[in-house]
Structure 1
Amino acid sequence: MPTLRDIMTPNPVTVDPQATLQEVATLMLEQDIGAVLVMENDRPTGIITDRDIVVRAVAYGHDSGTPVTDYTTGDVFTLDANTSVEDAADEMGRQQVRRIPVTENGKVVGIVSLGDLAVRANSDADEEALKGVSVPSENHNS
């Protein structure tokens, strides 16, 4: 049974809380990614996605020099690298998140997206997660 370690993207791109929207957007462009973890003292304190930047900042005409923490989704939910893909999919559905940082011994070692479940896992796990993520919620972690 595959675990998150088997499908995660290792070494996710991270920034500190003082990073600006422009710095994060530039990283996303350079790395061809859609999400960046905000880390403080080796702990994920937030996550920001390309959609967060567009919907929460650009749409309102906010300055690109604004600190990223003004637009991050806080209370980052993480899972251990040894979590099964099926359990992760269930949890993503329950938490209604599309990306989850993966930890090992309390340190972030990777990130898994709903797309990773769909592309890399040989199971119906992505379908179960998608069902949960597709349910409207007030908690948005794109």
Structure 2
Amino acid sequence: MTNRCLAFIIKNQDPLTLPPDATVQHACQCMWERRVGAVLVTDGDRLVGIFTGRDAVRTLAEGQPPAATPLSAVMTAAPDTIAPDAMAIDALRRMADCGYRHLPIVDAGKLVGIVSRGDFKGLELDRLEDETCLWERIA
């Protein structure tokens, strides 16, 4: 399982995408309906940002009106991405190292999917934990 390619994980995936001018309120409604934690903000097939539940909370905490705030104002622009031929453990490492829970998958500039920490189970998470413990002992 630890050598699974990301293309296998995202096969037949239909990620939630919205344009940069969609409002935070609309994004949150879509996230709730689809039961997902992130929206991929796109301009056509091109990924321009990501909006997550954390961004929604920050938007509310800062007092920005969700019905009037566009995603472009609160999204993470030009998010980190990974290729579909990368291994699952590589995606997990990147998410752990960088402190985020969602990682868009882009192939030759075209958005093809997204993985989240919740997509990984069992051996992949065990391997990441083993690696983390090893590095902690070495450091």
TM-score class, shorter: 0.7 to 0.9
The alignment-based identity, stated in percent, is: 36
Cα distance change of structure 1 residues 122 and 5 upon mapping to structure 2, 3 Å threshold: farther
User: Could you tell me which of 34, 39, 60 is aligned with 1:36?
Assistant: 39
Offset at residue 112 of structure 1 (A)? 0.5
Compared CA separation, residues 129 and 114, structure 1 to 2 (3 A): farther
Judged with a 3 Å threshold, the aligned counterparts in structure 2 of structure 1 residues 113 and 129 are, in CA distance, closer, same or farther, namely farther
Instruction: Please say if residues 18 and 68 of structure 1, whose CA atoms lie closer than 8 Å, have aligned partners that are also in contact.
Output: yes
Counterpart mapping for 1:82-121 below 5 A: 82-117=85-120, 119=121
The runs of at least 4 consecutive aligned structure 1 residues that moved more than 4 Å come to 128-131
Q: CA contact under 8 A between 1:37 and 1:48: conserved in structure 2?
A: yes
Q: CA deviation at 1:58?
A: 1.1
Alignment: residue pair count: 128
Gaps of 5+ in 2: 134-139
Residue 112 of structure 2 aligns with an amino acid whose one-letter code is V
Q: Are 1:3 and 1:85, in contact at CA under 8 Å, matched by a contact in 2?
A: yes
Partner letter of residue 95 of structure 2?
A: M
Separation in 2 of the partners of 1:50 and 1:18? Answer: 18
Segment of structure 1 superposing worse, 8-17 or 107-116: 8-17
1:1-142 correspondence to structure 2 within 5 Å? 1-8=3-10, 10-54=13-57, 56-64=58-66, 65-117=68-120, 119=121, 122-123=123-124, 124-127=126-129
Task: Give the gaps of 5 or more residues in structure 1.
Answer: 132-142
Seen in structure 2, the aligned counterparts of structure 1 residues 130 and 63 have a Cα distance that, compared at 3 Å, is farther
Give the superposition deviation at 1:37: 0.7
Q: TM-score, normalised by structure 2?
A: 0.79
Contact kept in structure 2, 1:38 and 1:48, CA below 8 Å: yes
TM-score of the pair, normalised by structure 1: 0.78
| SS of residue matched to 2:91 | helix
Distance 1:87 1:94, change over 3 A: same
**Aligned equivalents of 1:30 and 1:82: distance in 2?**
30
> Is the partner of 1:108 in helix, strand or coil?
strand
Does the 8 Å contact 2:51/2:76 carry over to 1? yes
